[in-house]
Amino acid sequence: MTMREFIEQYGFIIVLAPLLGAAINGFLGKYIQKRSGERAVGLIANASVFISFCVALAAFAAVWSAEEDAHTVVCYLFNWLNVGALRADVSLLFDPLSAVMVLVITGIGFLIHIYSTGYMKGDPGCYRFFAYLNLFIFAMLILVLGENMLLMFIGWEGVGLCSYLLISFWFTKQANAQAGNKAFIVNRIGDFGFILGMLVLYSLLRESVFTGGLAGVEAPSLLSFRFLEMNIHLLTNTELFGISAATLVCLCLFVGAAGKSAQIPLYVWLPDAMAGPTPVSALIHAATMVTAGIYMIGRLHFLFSMSAAALQVIAVIGAATALFAATIGCVQNDIKKVLAYSTVSQLGYMFLGMGVAAYSAGIFHLMTHAFFKACLFLGSGSVILGMRHEQDIRWMGGLKKYMPRTFATFLIATLALSGLPPFSGFFSKDEILWQAWKTGHHGLWLMGFISAGITAFYMTRLVILTFYGLNRLHLRPSQDLEHDHDNHDHGRHDVRESPASITAPLIILAFFSLVAGFIGIPAALGGGNRFEHFLVPVFGHHASAPHHDPMEYLLMFASVTVALAGIAAGVFFYRIRPELPDKIVSRIKTFHRIVYNKYYVDEIYGVIFVSGTKLLAKASAAFDRYVIDLLVDLAAYVLRVNSYLSGAFDRIVVDGLVNGAASSFLFSGEQLRRLQTGKIQAYVMLLLFLIVIGVSFAVIM
Please state at what angle helix 424-438 crosses helix 550-571, rounded to 10 degrees.
Answer: 130
DSSP-derived secondary structure letter, 356: T
Tens digits of residue pLDDT in 14-43: 999 999 999 999 999 999 999 988 889 999
DSSP 34-84: HHH-HHHHHHHHHHHHHHHHHHHHHHHHHHHTS-TT---EEEEEEEEEEET
Per-residue pLDDT at 584: 93
Per-residue pLDDT at 311: 95
The length of the chain, given as a count of residues: 701
How far apart (Å, rounded) are the C-alpha atoms in residues 319 and 530?
Answer: 26
All structural domains of the chain with their residue ranges: 1-147, 148-479+491-596, 601-700
353: closest CA among 542, 99, 549, 552? 542
How far apart (Å, rounded) are the C-alpha atoms in residues 163 and 133?
Answer: 9
Tens digits of residue pLDDT in 370-405: 999 999 999 999 999 888 888 999 989 889 999 999
Contact between 370 and 104 under an 8 Å Cβ cutoff? The reply is yes
Neighbouring residues of 9: CB distance < 8 A, sequence distance ≥ 6: 1, 75
Q: Whole-prediction pTM value?
A: 0.85
How far apart (Å, rounded) are the C-alpha atoms in residues 464 and 571?
Answer: 8
Contact between 183 and 167 under an 8 Å Cβ cutoff? The reply is yes
How far apart (Å, rounded) are the C-alpha atoms in residues 203 and 240?
Answer: 11
3-class secondary structure, 211: strand
Beta 86-94 vs 73-83: how paired, if at all? antiparallel
Residue 92 β-bridge partners = 75, 146
Half-sphere exposure of 641 (CA within 13 A, CB side): 6
Between the two ends of the chain, the Cα-to-Cα distance in Å is 131
What are the 10-residue block averages of pLDDT along the chain, 701 residues in total?
81 94 93 90 95 93 75 88 81 93 94 91 89 95 94 93 90 87 91 92 67 44 72 60 83 94 91 87 82 94 91 96 95 93 94 94 94 94 88 90 94 95 93 93 95 96 93 68 39 72 93 93 84 88 56 92 96 93 92 92 85 79 78 83 75 76 75 68 73 79 66
Per-residue pLDDT at 492: 44
SS3 for 155-166 is: HHHHHHHHHHHH
Neighbouring residues of 518: CB distance < 8 A, sequence distance ≥ 6: 422, 424, 427, 527
